[in-house]
A and B are shown apart, each in its own frame.
Chain A
Amino acid sequence: MNHRRSSPEPLLWMLFSSGGMVAALMVPILLFLFGIAFPVGLLSAPSHAHLYAVLHNPLTRLVLFGLCALALFHWAHRFRYTLYDGLQLKRYAVPIVVLCYGGAVVGCVIAAGLLLTV
């Protein structure tokens, strides 16, 4: 016996929460390395050829794609509720859902395209 209404909310929340965690763990490291440490010379920057090789490793691509995709779904979920509650726009739920999660899907496709073509 199961009266539970099936809803995509648990899955969307999983994407949201894992996106938040992954972004919080990885983005500061990437920002520190590529935004501060390499440009100001705190650490010696890797050569272009080295980075290029690292980026062509399928594992790097997978990790970077995971980071982009999960962070985008984190944004989508948070932004959806910001529009619902913060701006009181819940009556436009359908277009908001399409905009937020659709936007995340589009972002994932772009991220995959970029990662595969570099």
Chain B
Amino acid sequence: MATEITLEVARYRPGVDSEPVMQSYQVPLREHWAILDGLTYVKDHLDGTLSFRWSCRMGICGSCGMTVNGEPQLSCATFLTDYAPGPIRVEPLHNFPVVRDLVVDIDDFMTKLPKVKPWVVREVQSPVEEGEYLQTPEELDEYQQFSMCINCMLCYSACPVYSLEPDFLGPAAIALAQRYNLDSRDEGADERRDVLSSPEGVWACTFVGECSAVCPKGVDPAGAIQRYKLTAATQSIKELLMPRISRRLNSRSQG
């Protein structure tokens, strides 16, 4: 086996490059090295000006998402040997503005995420002395997979709808909304409804399913979105057929 592999890395240095250019680096091809180790080798030994984000190196922090040979990947969980003999093309995540080299600007997601109130909403907070909100294992199963999201943005990068409609709320934000909607302790589903069931919410999704295919944590955002579509459609048809009853129920549940 070859002892080295070529990384073709997208470089964009504001003020120097007018557009991204590819630069090749030879890095050692070691069995246990991920793409991220290759990039770290470049930064330590070949070119200290290369910029990329990383933190935990173990698929927990969600910082090191990049486009590897055209596919969105966590660079810490994608191994050099899987791409031997190379070359391996490493680019920033698609669908986001590039700040520098492999670093992208995810402000759009950070603005959208709080709109779905991704936290447990309670009408009345019980005092701590009353103890925990108990939950059965079945109730935990309802939302647990959606709680595995690490906000790595691979799903946004893979989503063709997000690339066409930047206003789309997006896979991770909707999956995280469902993480709380499906939590037995949560009472915020009505407060999340306006955002989720808007045209930029679940209705923008055309169920391509790439978000679920690329998720490194096994979350199924496409499933979360389809499930919410059913909830939202059932509610609007109920309102259409029984406007008075559902209005009364709504005003009661919204206090």
Residues of B236-254 whose CB lies within 8 A of A: 236-237, 240, 247, 250
B202 to chain A, nearest CB (A): 9
With A4-B197, A5-B199, A10-B237 in contact, do A85 and B206 touch (Cβ < 8 Å)? yes
Q: When the two chains form their complex, are residues A7 and B160 in contact, meaning their CB atoms are under 8 A apart?
A: no
Answer whether residue B194 sits at the interface, using C-beta atoms and an 8 A cutoff.
yes
Name the contact of B160 in the complex, choosing from A2, A9, A10, A85 (C-beta under 8 A): A85
Cα A73 to Cα B169 with chains together (Å): 26
Answer whether residue B232 sits at the interface, using C-beta atoms and an 8 A cutoff.
yes
Answer whether residue A14 sits at the interface, using C-beta atoms and an 8 A cutoff.
yes
Answer whether residue B229 sits at the interface, using C-beta atoms and an 8 A cutoff.
yes
Residues of A2-56 whose CB lies within 8 A of B: 2-7, 9-11, 13-14, 17
Chain A residues with Cβ below 8 Å from B236 are 6, 10-11
Name the contact of B197 in the complex, choosing from A10, A11, A17, A81 (C-beta under 8 A): A10
Taken residue by residue from 212 to 253, chain B's Cβ proximity to chain A (1 for < 8 Å, 0 otherwise) reads as: 000000000000000001101100110010000001001000
With A13-B233, A14-B237 in contact, do A3 and B194 touch (Cβ < 8 Å)? yes
Total number of A residues with any Cβ neighbor in B under 8 Å: 15
A39 to chain B, nearest CB (A): 35
Chain A residues with Cβ below 8 Å from B199 are 5, 7, 9
Q: When the two chains form their complex, are residues B232 and A10 in contact, meaning their CB atoms are under 8 A apart?
A: yes
Answer whether residue B164 sits at the interface, using C-beta atoms and an 8 A cutoff.
yes
Answer whether residue B121 sits at the interface, using C-beta atoms and an 8 A cutoff.
no
A residues contacting B by CB (< 8 A) are: 2-7, 9-11, 13-14, 17, 81, 85, 88
B residues contacting A by CB (< 8 A) are: 160-161, 164, 193-194, 197-199, 203, 206, 229-230, 232-233, 236-237, 240, 247, 250
Instruction: List the 4 shortest-distance A-B pairs measured between CB atoms, nearest first.
Output: A10-B233, A10-B236, A9-B203, A81-B206
23 A-B residue pairings within 8 Å (CB atoms): A2-B247, A4-B193, A4-B194, A5-B199, A7-B199, A7-B203, A9-B199, A9-B203, A10-B203, A10-B229, A10-B232, A10-B233, A10-B237, A11-B236, A11-B237, A11-B240, A13-B203, A14-B237, A81-B206, A85-B160, A85-B161, A85-B164, A85-B206
